[in-house]
Amino acid sequence: MAKVVQERRPIRALEFFSGIGGLHYGFHLSGVLGEVVSSFDVNTVGNEVYRHNFNKDPNNVSILFSQFTSIDTLSAKDIDRYQANCWLMSPPCQPYTRGGKMLDDQDPRAKALLHLIDILPKLSQPPEYIFLENVLNFETSRSRIILLTQLDSLSYTVHECLLSPLQFGIANDRLRYYLMARRRSAGPSADPTTKYSERAMVHTRWPFEGEEVSYEPVELARVLEQGVDEMEEFRVPEKDLLKSFDFRFDIVRQTDRRTSAFTKAYGSRHFYKAGSILQTKQIDVTSYDFTNPSTLIPLGLRFFTPLEVARLHAFPVPPFGAQPDPPSEPEQPAEPRSFRQPTSPPYLEFPPTVTTIQRHRLLGNSLNCWVVGELLRCVLFKMKSEEVNEW
Ligand SMILES: C[S@@+](CC[C@H](N)C(=O)[O-])C[C@H]1O[C@@H](n2cnc3c(N)ncnc32)[C@H](O)[C@@H]1O
């Protein structure tokens, strides 16, 4: 069986746009040898959660970057000093969403990503590995073309895909764009036909080649917390329901095996296109009259709790009564595997000062750690340095 061959020095990763550390957890789940040596984000609440769980200060604000305000203020020298050979990044998605007006590279929120792309050739040693996560639509953006053109010029081999956690056996539909790039040891190719940017292909199957795997997600009952159905804090308020004439929101039951993507708006108690709502009563009722919202009141509708969303995003959270898994093997087979709820520390825990709304917002902004771990393990860290794009 093919292994993630550690023919290289241990990974020293930098995590840009780190939020609550979804990429850091994904890195742990990949089982690759190495560490995330530093992280960068401007969100103070996200940074507080990150510090709480990893015991590391994002940005090293007080030590190296007393001037740090934003990723686009980092110089090549600032980055060089980490001697990192891997970049993990999940830049803001608003430039590529309809809600964010789709301004793409003209959106001020794309500036930090464009700055990092620009800095790549100025580094004394560009990273050997690059991983990027973003939303659907990034694959058709100008920002992506700018990134691919730079990666081509620096001799990276690239793989791109659009995948949902459902394809990995997780009961959450969160279709996302992922890019994995490894720098070839040979210099830039003189042959323009090998330019990836000109013949790019975005994979939508998992794995990219061979037989597609199909894992059935487990029932939602497995991720639900006990004793929250009656809690006022999570109940969908009647007055909001009554105002929701003809909002066809996504109602799911504990026997279902799918939820829709949780966005950061879920934290503001939105329930239309912001994530699924759980039906806790009259569960034999499965057809809903959204034009008569008062009929929805007896269904006992409630929001998913932050812990439940964290489980659906495959963050490691303390197990339900069972013992945690032993730490993952440093070398793991590089073939797809079926999903197992991660239960090994470091866990995702929220400091008590972080409110439920803030937790939902941070989780809505984050990503699926298992999908990241699988892509790192089976694609990025499996790529050989001489490999020409051959998937
Ligand atoms: C899509 S979220 C990434 C979330 C993260 N992957 C996680 O697991 O929580 C984008 C993040 O970029 C941060 N961000 C946006 N612009 C930034 C900038 N110029 N410098 C540093 N961080 C920035 C935001 O605060 C946000 O946390």
**Could you read off the pLDDT of 349-379 as tens digits, one per residue?**
999 999 999 999 999 999 999 999 999 999 9
Contacts of 121 (CB under 8 A, 6+ apart): 150, 153, 154
20-29, 188-197, 228-237, range with greatest mean pLDDT: 20-29
2: confidence class by pLDDT, cuts 50, 70, 90: very low
93 is catalytic: yes
d(CA 168, CA 288) in angstroms, rounded, equals 30
Give the CA distances from residue 324 to residues 133, 316, 343, in Å, rounded to whole numbers and listed in that order: 28, 10, 5
Flag whether 6 is in a domain: no
- pLDDT, residue 389, reads 39
The CATH number of whichever domain residue 271 belongs to comes to: 3.90.120.10
Residue 16: the pLDDT is 97
Looking at 50-54, 61-65, 213-217, which range is the least confident one?
A: 61-65
Q: Are residues 162 and 74 in the same domain?
A: yes
- Tell me how far apart the alpha carbons of residues 175 and 165 are, in angstroms, rounded to a whole number: 7
Are both 230 and 206 inside the same structural domain? Answer: no
Residues 208 and 327 in one domain: yes
Q: What is the pLDDT of residue 323?
A: 54
Q: Scanning the structure block, which residue is given the tokens 């709304």? A: 357
310: in domain: no
253 and 334 assigned to the same domain:
no
The answer to whether residues 282 and 174 belong to one domain is no
175 & 153 share domain: yes
pLDDT at 176 over 60: yes
**Does residue 329 register a pLDDT over 60?**
no
> Residue range 34-40: average pLDDT?
96
375 falls within a domain: yes
Q: Kindly report the CA angle at 254 between 251 and 256, in degrees rounded to 5?
A: 70
Is the pLDDT at 83 greater than 60? The verdict is yes
Domain membership of residue 287 (yes or no) is yes
What is the CATH classification number for the domain harbouring 54?
A: 3.40.50.150
331 and 259 co-located in one domain: no
pLDDT, position 180: 98
Domain membership of residue 205 as a residue range: 11-215+316-355+366-380
Within a domain: 387: no
Q: Measure 20 CA to ligand 1 centroid, in angstroms.
A: 9
- The residue with greater pLDDT, 69 or 106, is 106
Kindly give the interhelix angle for 142-153 and 111-119, rounded to the nearest 10 degrees: 10
Mutate to test the pocket of ligand 1, among 133, 365, 367, 371 (most ligand atoms within 8 A of CB): 365
Q: Are 165 and 173 in contact (CB under 8 A)?
A: yes
Cα distance between residue 84 and residue 88, in whole Å: 11
Task: Please work out whether the CB of residue 367 comes within 6 Å of at least one atom of ligand 1.
Answer: yes
Q: What is the pLDDT of residue 189?
A: 54
The answer to whether 133 and 90 are in contact (CB under 8 A) is yes
Q: What is the predicted pLDDT for the residue at 25? A: 98
Q: Are residues 233 and 94 in the same domain?
A: no
**Domain co-membership, 296 together with 342:** no
Between the two ends of the chain, the Cα-to-Cα distance in Å is: 18
State how far the Cα of 380 lies from the Cα of 33, in Å rounded to an integer: 13
Q: Which atom of ligand 1 is nearest to the CA of 20?
A: 9
User: What total number of domains does the chain contain?
Assistant: 2
When pLDDT is cut at 50, 70 and 90, the band that residue 250 belongs to is: very high
The first and second tokens of residue 241, run together, are 């329901």
* Phi, psi of 35, deg, nearest 5: -150, 160
389 in any annotated domain: no
